[in-house]
Amino acid sequence: MSLRASRMAERYFFLLQELVLPRIPSSLARPNRLTCLGLFFALLAPFGFWLHPFFGFLGIGFSGLADSLDGMAARSRQEGSRYGAFLDSSLDRISDSLYLLGFWVLFWESSFFIAASVGIFIGLVLTLLISYSKARAEGLGGKCSAGLLERDLRVVYLLIWSLVLSFAPGEMAVLWTGLVLYLVLTMLTVVQRMRHIRTILTD
């Protein structure tokens, strides 16, 4: 399920193109620098969650914003490259891991910390498998956009989860509900992709 094809996404990217990108200093508005900036904000996310869930929300939000702008800058400046695409994809995987690490920080006070750690680990594996399955399928000559929770929607989900936690800090019920739902959705996405890839790559 691709969020980029929605009307809301079209409006979002239009606003970035018209209002945000022109106001970024030229020295920073290079695709690879914006990609690295996204990683920088992702690195701040776990520390933000440690202070308060709202600061974690800001870390994920600014990281996602920079990630949206890097491809836009590559197209507008005609500086797209295969290495840039590789760098973007690689750092996205690190950012995905850091986002989940931020939520893991919130479980430190839980009586079921070990169970939560296992859940976060499984969520991380499923998240990386969603991205890997697509990359591997495309490397074998297939196309794979199937699955409910592509990266754009995963980031939106994590933003909503962290925002809800911002208004209910310390609410373990909200934290656990968000984690269980994330595991269900990512598992469903992995199954959908595996079934789709089996169809398109059957020799």
The catalytic site residues sit at 92
* CA–CA dist 143, 134 (Å, integer): 8
Contact 150, 3 (CB under 8 A): yes
The alpha carbon of 202 is separated from its chain's Cα centroid by a whole number of angstroms, namely 30
Could you tell me the end-to-end alpha-carbon distance of the chain, in angstroms, rounded to an integer?
26
Distance CA 177, CA 101 (A): 17
d(CA 35, CA 29): 10
What is d(CA 139, CA 145) in angstroms, rounded to the nearest whole number? 14
CB 13 within 8 A of CB 70: no
